[in-house]
Chain A
Amino acid sequence: MNFIALRMLMGDRAKYLGIVFGVMLSALLISHQVTIFVGLMSRTRSIFQTLDHADLIIADPATEFVEDVRSLPDTAVERVRAVPGVEWAVPMVRSTIKARLQGGKSRTCIVVGLDDATLIGGPSKMLEGSLTDLRSPDAVIIDRLDAEKLLSSRRADGTLFVPGVGDWIELNDRQCRVVGICHNPRPFLSQPIIYTTLTRAQLIAPPERRTIGYVLAHASPDRDRELLKADIAAATGLSAYSRREFGFKTIGYYLRNTGIPVNFGVTVLLGCIVGIAISGQTFYMFILDNLRNLAALKAMGANTSQLVRMVLLQASVVGVQGFAIGVGFTALFFVYFIGTDLEFDLHWEVLGLTACVICLIILIATAAGVMRVLKVQPALVFRG
């Protein structure tokens, strides 16, 4: 019976392709949009994704998200270090500055100042140079994509200038030398991130009474992290978060305070509606067109459960094919944009979610057809 079901399905090529197209479009829209949404949300916390060494991020209690830097007193680092169970703690500066580009244009950048001694909090992957090169005079490290897109500019003679290792860039009227090119997870905001030492960052950044943005800390191996967070909060009046907590706090802020989830949600909903409308309607028409054949099968001895299984098999086949093609296109899209601003990871969770939604779409699309099959009377076949 499976053979008959599949031949019936694929024999009506127009409807078969129509149903697969509908499911494919849904899978494409859902997986594509959810991937970008998840990727964008992930980018909001990207600055701390590279902190492999630090367990804890200590910030002002009023801080709502990563970019919401509320400067801490210079004593914050010492006070955190004084809490029992803290193995080490280092400051991190995060300031907004102006970079003057070749040709006279300027660009707002984020300068990240790393602890001079340890350089903890630096980029995850160096493409050229090394992190320790930051200890040389006037040294900065920039991201490859930032260099190519945001920090590049036309010289007076019209040629393109892309800053590389050994080139000088002007940050807040200070000449800085590029000593390394890194590759970082893309940030949410489209501002170049420039790494340097804490001391140099304080020199480059506009003068402020407080300059430290965050304190990065590491717990002793024998210390319970939850208790340590509470102890830090009690001793310093600051809030301590794990990287994961701070990441989700940031994501929560963007979800609550921006239209991003609504916009992507609407697109995903449209994907579902398109899938149900196209696939459901076409599948129902397919069932209606085949009612007489199904009645004939029933007259010839096929029972209702056999017919329902045939319909479910047909629905499963178009569902799997549409899903595979849809997420295949999504994967191709993101493979094509690897190494660009549109580079996003296609997580298995997104594939799982898309598969669940497609299952739901197929179930809804099939329900009406199955209802007709349940009611089909073999006597129908004798009607002229």
Chain B
Amino acid sequence: MPALMPIEQSHNPGSHSSARGLAIHCKNVTKSFSAGGTSIKALRGIDLDVKLGELAMLVGPSGCGKTTLISVVAGILDRDEGECLVFDQDFSKMSGRQKTRFRGQTVGFVFQQFNLLPALTAAQNIAVPLLINGVSHSAAVKVAKEMLDRVGLGDRSESLPRQLSGGQQQRVAIARAMVHKPRLIVCDEPTSALDHETGHVVMRLLKNVALDHDRALVIVTHDARIFGFADRVFKMDDGRIVDVIANPSSLMSPADQQH
């Protein structure tokens, strides 16, 4: 794959690993939204450390701030207060363009509704992050096809999203999230639109293919059936992390554990 352009030497996430072995370091992060004249505090002093090579899950009831937290971590939303470093880089010290470029090179996304472009084939969808980063179309599609092989869909490279099942679409989305070799992959409810069996296939793929020692995965989910795949589960409520579970398989039902 052609090398991606670094955003700046000081912000180049690929140039060195985090000094503390941390992918994400958040300290006392707050975030508020104003709606209808009232201020809603979505994050109320979040402390979160995610290590390299770790699969972390953010769980909790709707409206507890999970999605806001991964949006802040991924540089999509700006925090109000506190400190949040991603691979030792502080989004608050970057310009909008630097932030966008950092996100494009360092973060991969897996969305709940897959968000594959309906007019593009599976291979072309996977190539999108490379195209955004300026890689030529032919080179990007070549790499995308290799990635499609890795998620077990090598024979579906020319299929449009509508020709794929939900599970296959999510595998394409995972391949898209990995294709530009990001060091952080954030997943928003990656299994909620899938049945039990397919959800497990997707999680195994994330755990075995997407995760490596130099990359971190943060997954937001409601789906208790997949908690066992996590290295740590961060339980959130009312904008705070209320519990950290280091042995999450205990949260799964016996049937899911057996599965």
Please say whether chains A and B are actual partners in one complex.
yes
Binding site for B on A (CB under 8 A): 1, 3-4, 7-8, 10-12, 292-293, 296-303, 306, 377-379, 381-384
B97 near A303: Cβ-Cβ < 8 Å: yes
B104 near A302: Cβ-Cβ < 8 Å: yes
**A87 CB → nearest B CB, Å:** 69
B112 near A301: Cβ-Cβ < 8 Å: no
A302 near B124: Cβ-Cβ < 8 Å: no
Complex Cα gap A381–B173 (Å): 14
B101 near A296: Cβ-Cβ < 8 Å: no
B100 near A302: Cβ-Cβ < 8 Å: yes
Known contacts A379-B71, A382-B67; is A299 also within 8 Å of B76 by CB? yes
Residues of B within 8 A of A11 (CB): 117-120
* Chain B count of residues within 8 A CB distance of the other chain: 31
The contact of A296 among B67, B115, B119, B133, by CB within 8 Å, is: B115
Residues of B within 8 A of A8 (CB): 117, 119
Looking across the interface, which residue of chain B has its beta carbon closest to that of A7? B119
Question: Is the C-beta of B103 less than 8 angstroms from some C-beta in chain A?
Answer: yes
Residues of B within 8 A of A381 (CB): 109, 111, 115
B103 near A301: Cβ-Cβ < 8 Å: yes
Q: How many A-B residue pairs have CB under 8 A?
A: 78
B112 near A299: Cβ-Cβ < 8 Å: no
Complex Cα gap A303–B7 (Å): 13
A303 near B128: Cβ-Cβ < 8 Å: no
B100 near A301: Cβ-Cβ < 8 Å: yes
Contact with A along B90-105 (1 / 0, CB 8 A): 0000001100110111
Tell me which residues from 126 to 150 in chain B have a Cβ below 8 Å from any Cβ of chain A.
Answer: 128-129, 131-133, 137
The contact of B104 among A3, A301, A384, by CB within 8 Å, is: A301
Residues of B within 8 A of A4 (CB): 117, 120, 124, 128, 131
Contact with A along B51-91 (1 / 0, CB 8 A): 00000000000000001001100101100000000000000
Known contacts A306-B132, A379-B77; is A296 also within 8 Å of B97 by CB? no
Complex Cα gap A195–B14 (Å): 89
Complex Cα gap A300–B74 (Å): 10
Looking across the interface, which residue of chain B has its beta carbon closest to that of A380? B76
Question: Is the C-beta of B188 less than 8 angstroms from some C-beta in chain A?
Answer: yes
B117 near A293: Cβ-Cβ < 8 Å: yes
Looking across the interface, which residue of chain A has its beta carbon closest to that of B117? A293
Known contacts A300-B104, A300-B128, A301-B133; is A12 also within 8 Å of B119 by CB? yes
Looking across the interface, which residue of chain B has its beta carbon closest to that of A302? B132
B137 near A3: Cβ-Cβ < 8 Å: yes
Complex Cα gap A292–B117 (Å): 10
A1 near B132: Cβ-Cβ < 8 Å: yes
**A64 CB → nearest B CB, Å:** 61
Given A4-B128, A292-B115, A301-B104, 12 more pairs with CB closer than 8 A: A3-B124, A3-B137, A297-B132, A299-B74, A299-B76, A301-B100, A301-B133, A379-B71, A381-B109, A382-B70, A382-B71, A383-B67
Complex Cα gap A378–B99 (Å): 12
Complex Cα gap A301–B101 (Å): 6
A7 near B128: Cβ-Cβ < 8 Å: no
Residues of B within 8 A of A300 (CB): 103-104, 109, 128-129, 132
Residues of B within 8 A of A377 (CB): 76
List 4 A-B pairs, minimum CB-CB distance, nearest first: A301-B104, A11-B119, A296-B115, A7-B119
**B40 CB → nearest A CB, Å:** 14
Residues of A within 8 A of B96 (CB): 303
B105 near A301: Cβ-Cβ < 8 Å: yes
* 30 contacting pairs across A/B (C-beta < 8 A): A3-B131, A3-B137, A4-B117, A4-B124, A7-B117, A7-B119, A7-B124, A8-B117, A11-B119, A11-B120, A292-B113, A292-B115, A296-B115, A297-B128, A297-B132, A299-B103, A300-B103, A300-B109, A300-B132, A301-B100, A301-B105, A301-B132, A302-B104, A303-B97, A303-B101, A377-B76, A379-B77, A381-B111, A383-B67, A384-B113
Complex Cα gap A383–B77 (Å): 13
Residues of A within 8 A of B188 (CB): 382
Looking across the interface, which residue of chain A has its beta carbon closest to that of B188? A382
Residues of A within 8 A of B119 (CB): 7-8, 10-12
Residues of B within 8 A of A302 (CB): 100, 104, 132
Complex Cα gap A75–B178 (Å): 96
Residues of B within 8 A of A382 (CB): 67, 70-71, 76, 111-112, 188
**B191 CB → nearest A CB, Å:** 14
Looking across the interface, which residue of chain B has its beta carbon closest to that of A8? B119
B115 near A293: Cβ-Cβ < 8 Å: yes
Complex Cα gap A306–B101 (Å): 12
Contact with A along B177-215 (1 / 0, CB 8 A): 000000000001000000000000000000000000000
Complex Cα gap A10–B100 (Å): 27
Looking across the interface, which residue of chain B has its beta carbon closest to that of A12? B119
**A359 CB → nearest B CB, Å:** 26
Complex Cα gap A7–B119 (Å): 6
Complex Cα gap A377–B33 (Å): 14
Complex Cα gap A68–B24 (Å): 89
Complex Cα gap A298–B75 (Å): 11
**A307 CB → nearest B CB, Å:** 10
Residues of A within 8 A of B77 (CB): 379
Known contacts A4-B117, A12-B119; is A296 also within 8 Å of B104 by CB? no
B103 near A379: Cβ-Cβ < 8 Å: no
Residues of B within 8 A of A293 (CB): 115, 117
**A123 CB → nearest B CB, Å:** 59
